[in-house]
Amino acid sequence: MDESKIVPYIEPIFRFCYKRLSNRYDAEDLAGEIICHVLDGMSKYKIESLDGWVWRIAHNRYARFIDARNRDPIVLLYEDELLDVSDYSDIDEDNTQEQYETVFRYLHTLSSEYRNIFVDYYIGELSVRNLAQKYSLPETTIKWRLNVGRRKIRDRIGEDKMDKVYQRINWSTTSCNGNMNSEKYLSTQIARAICLAAYETPLTVEEISIRTGIPTMYIEDELPRLEYGDAICKVGNKYVTDFIIFRLEDRKQTEDISASMVNVLADKFEAILKEAEGKISTVDFYGNDFGTGRLGYIIVPYMLRRKIRDVKNNRLKLENGPYPPRKDGGYGWFIVEETADETETCAEYNFGCNVAIDENNPLLRIYYYWIGKYFDYNVYGNSGMRCMLGTGIVKDVTSGLISKALLPDEDAARLAENNLVTVSEGNYYLNIPCFSDDQFAEFVSLFDMTDEKTDDLLAEWIKSVRRSFESFVPKHLHDQINQWVNGYLYQIIGYVTDELIRRGVLSEPDYKKPLTNGVFCVEGKNINP
């Protein structure tokens, strides 16, 4: 039977309940229960007379309601009283991502049939369709309960409408080392709310509930999973978050400390790139005519990465510390950074180096320095660098011209799309510099980073960054600071790169193409980038 046929009965059922109970909240609860039973029966049985079916259920559910309340069973006849009330059947499904402070605060005031659906809808972010599947109820019933629940909450706080004042907890989460999946533990809003509440100091379940507005039953359901994933640890009868949350205000504080250092390093690299510009062509590698505007994307991260590592390890003796073992078989802590909204990539300056190795020739390696905001994994993947290694394209390429016998049209199209190969007059050319081991060493020697003053400034900056972390990281998480600082320090490579782009020292990326300026091939020993 078509479930839409129940819609004309919604108002009369509420009027039926309200007339007898004289209490809006009880009437809404009973009306919702009646409609649920009607809809459930419609999906199971062949109903000859819908009108008779509806009102027989209405009388029976009302009798049970009264019996349960005062243990004085009664039977009532059908009466069709009229009462002017609003239709609750409509719910805006486009609002599934919206979060409301009032929903969190007053969830405990709803009966379970409304409360469970509210948690899944507003916190678990399930759609109406998914809720219907989860609870084996028609979508119209889910919509009814959402609307009734929202009305109940509005009435509780005396507001005409629900203002959207609760801000979504936006995190960018990654894992450290090991078999860890941060999304598995920290992707839901309820998990994030718990971890944020218990971040500074240990809290009991009841204290977490008060701070978040989330009923204790849902916190109790979530805590074992968070505890197993080492996101939460138990201290006596309390729980405390076991990872550092890099909040927006913390990030700003640390970035302010780094701002002056960015300019110092940009000045340094601008000078050494300019000094080496006329010398690069003397080194006989393919790509020596690319210019410092492009080759600087190799030198800046290579030299700066090594310089930071040297100052941190040798001068400051700043040890990272061991990663702790985890119950899920991995090791390390979650890396969590707060973002302003869902669209922001907080680690846009996150820096790393990937290396792809030719299995048939272990000495042939393609390196890729990447900055988070420019990173395109396809450049590194099977349609990019790994494709070139697997097909032997980069081997013995001295002029840049690629034999078409080595490069099928299909592979060429993918490599050209990833900006690793260029097409000119029907020929394919390699679009990355290629070095022998000796050529790379000669190339690097053109750029002199030996500067005691710069080393001193780097050391002071590193110490300032660590002090900054000590000021906002809770005491119980201080053993994780060195790992965090180590990761954060290399983000400055991204800041310096962007500053050099702004100055025109490095060529501005073509945002329509993947950035391949940091990709290069070296045949020889591992260069330890």
Torsion, Cα 405 408 414 415, to 10 degrees, reads 0
From 240, 242, 264, select the one nearest 327 (Cα to Cα).
242
The Cα–Cα gap between 426 and 410 comes to: 14
3-70 CATH = 1.10.1740
pLDDT in tens, 468-493: 999 999 999 999 999 889 888 998 99
Q: Which tokens sit at 267?
A: 């000045």
pLDDT at 321: 77
Instruction: Give the pLDDT score at 20.
Output: 82
pLDDT at 295: 96
> What pLDDT was estimated at residue 347?
60
Residue 350 vs residues 23, 265, 320, 337: alpha-carbon distances, Å: 58, 17, 18, 12
Topology match between the domains 93-157 and 171-243: yes
Query: Tokens for 139?
Result: 């979508």
pTM of structure: 0.68
Region at 29 (left for phi over 0; alpha for psi -120 to 50; beta for the rest): alpha
Which amino acid is residue 195, in one-letter code?
C
The structure tokens listed for 221 are: 């359901």
Other beta carbons less than 10 A from residue 260's beta carbon: 12
Element (H, E) at 358: strand 351-358
Structure tokens at 68: 């349960």
The pLDDT of residue 389: 84
The dihedrals phi and psi of 514, each to the nearest 5 degrees, come to -65, 140
What pLDDT is recorded for position 396?
67
Hey, what amino acid is at 511? Y
**Burial class (CB within 10 angstroms; exposed 0-12, middle 13-18, buried 19+) of 84:** exposed
Q: pLDDT at position 441, please?
A: 94
| Contact (CB, 8 A) for 240 and 201 | yes
Low-confidence stretches of the chain (pLDDT < 70) are 1-3, 67-112, 123, 153-167, 175-183, 345-349, 396-398
Instruction: Give the residue extent of every domain in the chain.
Output: 3-70, 93-157, 171-243, 244-322+342-529
Measured distance CA(146)–CA(155) in Å, rounded: 14
CATH 1.10.10 for the 93-157 domain, yes or no: yes
Q: What does the block give as tokens for 219?
A: 């916190």
Q: How far apart are CA 468 and CA 363, in angstroms?
A: 42
Tokens 């990326």 belong to residue: 509
DSSP-assigned letters across all residues of 268-288: HHHHHHHHHTTTGGGS-SBTT
In the chain, count H helices and then E strands: 20, 12
- 171-243 is a CATH 3.40.640.10 domain: no
Scan for tokens 């609002």, then name that residue.
95
Q: Residue 93 and residue 129: Cα distance in Å, rounded? A: 10
Q: How far apart are CA 149 and CA 282, in angstroms?
A: 75
